[in-house]
Structure 1
Amino acid sequence: MVHDGYLVETKAHIEGEKQRMFAYYLAPRGWERANAIKQRLATIRVPVVVAGVPKEMSLEEIDRATSVHLTFSDIIREAMTVDRLDLEYLEGIDDRRKRAMDERVKRLEEFTRAVMIAWKDGRVTATERLLVEQLRENLGISREEQQRIESEVMEDVLENRTGIYAAVAEEALEDGPITEDERELLEALRKKLGLSSRDVRAIESEIGKAES
């Protein structure tokens, strides 16, 4: 949808989240499409029980008849779980929505912690990958959510690894060119952090430019 111009993708701090995350909002083309869909849905009539009496109402009428704000998605989602919609039952949607959101957040947080542990040394073993995949299935995390979470965790891990190496390399370069002993220590650190030789050359080059 981003590629088709319906959504705009950006990375930002999301309320309640510790890490920066990808966020999406409707582009002008997306708004036009969404409004067109909403107008079509508004006129759809569905069976609903009102005070014990079955009748047919449009989605727009159902929304107006309840004291809580209902989106058309709310009504459709509720309709998929019952034989017939009940207006009184729809009144409790806010509580059910909150419980569902809290549960979803807990699952995502648990999965994110597992991914962070797996990636803490900059790489994931076959065993760790298997365990992460099993956890994803057990928690009901989608492939898209998994890819997003792993992408964000990998980015943070990479930033931390390069930052650690840069701090040590900067200290080694303070007194001039890196000595043989210092190079051995930096090489051991590079391997431990899972950085490539190209990565560390770029880091040391940036340090050299900053000090010159």
Structure 2
Amino acid sequence: MGSMTSFPSLDHDSTIPAYVAKPEQPSKAAIIVIPEIFGVNEGIRRKCEAWADLGYIALAPDIFWRFAPGVELDPDVPEQMQEAFGYYQQYDPNLGVQDIEAAIKVLRSEHGAEKVGLVGFCLGGLMAYMAATRTDIDASVGYYGAGIDTKLDEAKAIANPLVLHIPEQDHLVSPEAQAKIHAALDAHPKVTLFDYPGLDHGFAAEMGNRRNEDGAQLADRRTRDFLASALG
């Protein structure tokens, strides 16, 4: 079982809460799990535990620590969904990249990780893309990232492997936005895009009404295989 801990922010002026799960045996590979807009809830903790069971150190930072530390929300509760969108509006992705850099640093320096990957969901999917363009993360995976189409001018900076899972019926990422992503990234040698016909945003949630079992298992298997190859 994992536990809550914290690690220094990039400027060392603050500490960032995080959930960390470790495998039974020492590991040289780590995975940063970037949550959806619902905080480090049970579903995200389960994802961390699953990565630890596969032999990785898994760390899920509290992405809203600056203004709503410790929040845990259920997307199946309408009031909590609206609360989550409010936090999303307050979130600064540029600061989020700094938090990812801080997580990479601590995993390498204090946890002994020689390679660090990242898996992000929803807002975390956008952060997976931004981590690939702005940090030295060894590999990144984004699930249904919203807003990637607005940052495609950064794609030329992607130096390490990136996978994006794109549900074609994503009600938060329009067909036009998806087309822009494909046009910009299909030919990129470091990027792999997987489309999921008929599936909507949140299809790979660990639990709850949004999960599509077949789609989630397919995407997660692709992610596991990709990270096993990229992180060794």
TM-score by length of 1: 0.23
Q: Specify the structure having the higher radius of gyration (Cα).
A: 1
Higher strand proportion (structure 1 or 2):
2
Higher helix proportion (structure 1 or 2):
1
Structure with more relative contact order (C-alpha pairs < 8 Å, separation 6 or more): 2
TM-score by length of 2: 0.22
